[in-house]
Amino acid sequence: MIDPRTPVIVGVGQAAERLDDPGYLRRSAVELAAAAAREALADTGGDPGAVAAAVGTVAGVRQFEISVPGAEVPLGRSDNFPRSVAGRIGARPGRAVLEVTGGQAPQHLVNEFAAAIAAGECGAVLLCGAEAISTAERFTNADDRPDFTEHVGGQLEDRGFGLDGMFSMSLLAHGATEMTSQYALLENARRARLGLSREAYADAMGRLFAPFTRVAAANPYAAAPIERDAVELATPSAANRPIADPYTRYLVSRDKVNQGAAVLLMPVAEARRLALPEDRWIFLAGHADLRERDLMDRADLSTSPAAVLAARHALEVAGITAADLATIDLYSCFPIPVWTVAGALGLAHDDPRGLTVTGGLPFFGGAGNNYSMHAIAETAQRLRRTPGSWGFVGANGGAMSKYSAGVYRSGPHEWAADESASLQAALDAREAPGEVEEASGWATIETFTVKHGRDGRRSGIVIGRLEADGRRFLARGPGDFLSEGSPFGRRVQVRWTGLRNEVTLC
């Protein structure tokens, strides 16, 4: 008796190749996404040709190489990624979409198009994404480099980069534009709040991610299927070099991957018309999409109220609690997003259900913006094994800037609308500390990081507060001093040099 407009996932697929695989094919992002899409068509249990013919919309996740203005595309690309994929699987969609930048994209697209299906605004939708970053890096300067250029043309709804508020001239001037530095600043703010030493925090990060490596080691699609213990993850070495305090290489997202994933959504009525077996259907029972304040506008740099509210609200919409979940996948580009949502849901780092279904971004692979498409695909496969079970996927974009959450069920579940808009309004109304771009005077250190170059050079970045009025500022700081002990709350002098702020010890 379920409403025939209820959205349902009918098929999922994944594809991957490693440079050292015996059958390595040097596939492009389009080819990897198409391979995953073909798997999703077959996964429906119906006639792949008939299902492909029913697809009216193809929405693609934006590749890393076209995620920021001016980025290089060394091997070329398609000028219409969704239609390139559609053409390879025999689909002729009326609508093609290219989503904005961010790891929230896969789950956000599921939420968005599920709502559109429930409203009767569209039929079958193919969501897909892929990265061929390892191949691009290997062949950029090779004599036999492949050419991935495709001119497809046709309608394309390109939603742009979607980077508003995520970058600023101040971040650029102080060397904090890349995600590793921004997350390191947030991570150290969390360490300061917890009052942990460097050694204790490193140990905690290692213990958090060690179980992730075990999952990745058993995953045939993983980019780094190697099990490692907590000590190896947290201890600097030649292979595990420091990146930005408190991170070593094994603790950050691995973007050198060749991976693709796809999810096929449609209304129940369409799934029945195509005679797709109902025991393979997965329902989106809960969902939420929220955005965090810009980095320097956050009252507390050690957490993310948006991520917390999105995760809790998705469960609320589904009508369950975290205790009811059979599977969990928390976005794990760095440790702090995992801890933030796990803490909000009352999950321990060693929860017997695990906090990842893939192996996580540092070990399974951070497939650009498309990682969570793999998490959704794996969640669907696992839930099918236990009818009536529940799964959670949390997808994170930017520096904990955007969070999309989904709760899935392997059994009939009526569509329910979320209240993300009202929650977002409440988040936006919260007070924020003021920021001064040209700072001068006495101040204290709120958080920091030290970036480690491959040549051994160290450069410090500080977020501090002026003593005079409490306003927040970014500054460069002495790497040697910041690399020792816990400089949180240390009194410093900040001055504007004409190019950037710099802090010196009192």
Percent of the chain having pLDDT more than 70?
100
Are 334 and 263 in a shared domain?
A: yes
Q: What is the CATH number of the domain that holds 272?
A: 3.40.47.10
Q: Are 500 and 173 in contact (CB under 8 A)?
A: yes
Band of the pLDDT at 455, cuts 50, 70, 90?
confident
pLDDT at 291 over 90: yes
Are 263 and 387 in a shared domain?
A: yes
Task: Tell me, yes or no, whether 32 lies in a domain.
Answer: yes
CB atoms within 10 A of CB 193: 14
Are 134 and 275 in a shared domain?
A: yes
The residue type of 373 is M
CB atoms within 10 A of CB 242: 17
Interacting residues of 495 by C-beta distance below 8 A, sequence separation 6+: 439, 440, 501, 502, 504
- Residue at which a domain ends, from 428, 449, 474: 428
Q: Report the pLDDT averaged over residues 28-40.
A: 98
pLDDT tens for 196-248 read 999 999 999 999 999 999 999 999 999 999 999 999 999 999 999 999 999 99
Are 129 and 160 in a shared domain?
A: yes
Q: Are 6 and 414 in contact (CB under 8 A)?
A: yes
Are 421 and 453 in a shared domain?
A: no
pLDDT at 327 over 80: yes
Are 501 and 422 in a shared domain?
A: no
Are 353 and 487 in a shared domain?
A: no
Task: Tell me, yes or no, whether 180 lies in a domain.
Answer: no
Task: Tell me, yes or no, whether 226 lies in a domain.
Answer: no
pLDDT tens for 405-444 read 999 999 999 999 999 999 999 999 999 899 999 999 999 9
pLDDT at 128 over 90: yes
Are 478 and 399 in a shared domain?
A: no
Task: Tell me, yes or no, whether 248 lies in a domain.
Answer: no
CA 421 to each of CA 1, 115, 433: distance values in angstroms, whole numbers, following the listed order: 30, 14, 24
Task: Tell me, yes or no, whether 243 lies in a domain.
Answer: no
pLDDT at 506 over 80: no
Domain count across the chain = 2
Band of the pLDDT at 71, cuts 50, 70, 90?
confident
Task: Tell me, yes or no, whether 305 lies in a domain.
Answer: yes
Q: Are 293 and 322 in contact (CB under 8 A)?
A: no
Q: What is the CATH number of the domain that holds 495?
A: 2.40.50.840
Are 488 and 369 in a shared domain?
A: no
DSSP β-bridge partners for residue 78: 150
- Residue at which a domain ends, from 381, 403, 428: 428
Task: Tell me, yes or no, whether 389 lies in a domain.
Answer: yes
Are 376 and 403 in a shared domain?
A: yes
Per-residue confidence (pLDDT) for residue 277, from 0 to 100: 98
Are 285 and 399 in a shared domain?
A: yes
List the single range of 31-45, 137-151, 356-370, 471-485 with lowest mean pLDDT.
471-485
Band of the pLDDT at 481, cuts 50, 70, 90?
confident
Are 393 and 448 in a shared domain?
A: no
End-to-end CA distance of the chain: 72
pLDDT at 382 over 80: yes
- Residue at which a domain ends, from 376, 404, 428: 428
pTM of the model: 0.98
Task: Tell me, yes or no, whether 210 lies in a domain.
Answer: no
List the single range of 332-341, 357-366, 451-460 with lowest mean pLDDT.
451-460
pLDDT at 167 over 90: no
pLDDT at 173 over 80: yes
pLDDT tens for 240-280 read 999 999 999 999 999 999 999 999 999 999 999 999 999 99
Per-residue confidence (pLDDT) for residue 468, from 0 to 100: 96
Domain that residue 467 falls in = 441-505
Q: How far is it, in rounded angstroms, from Cα 12 to Cα 135?
A: 24
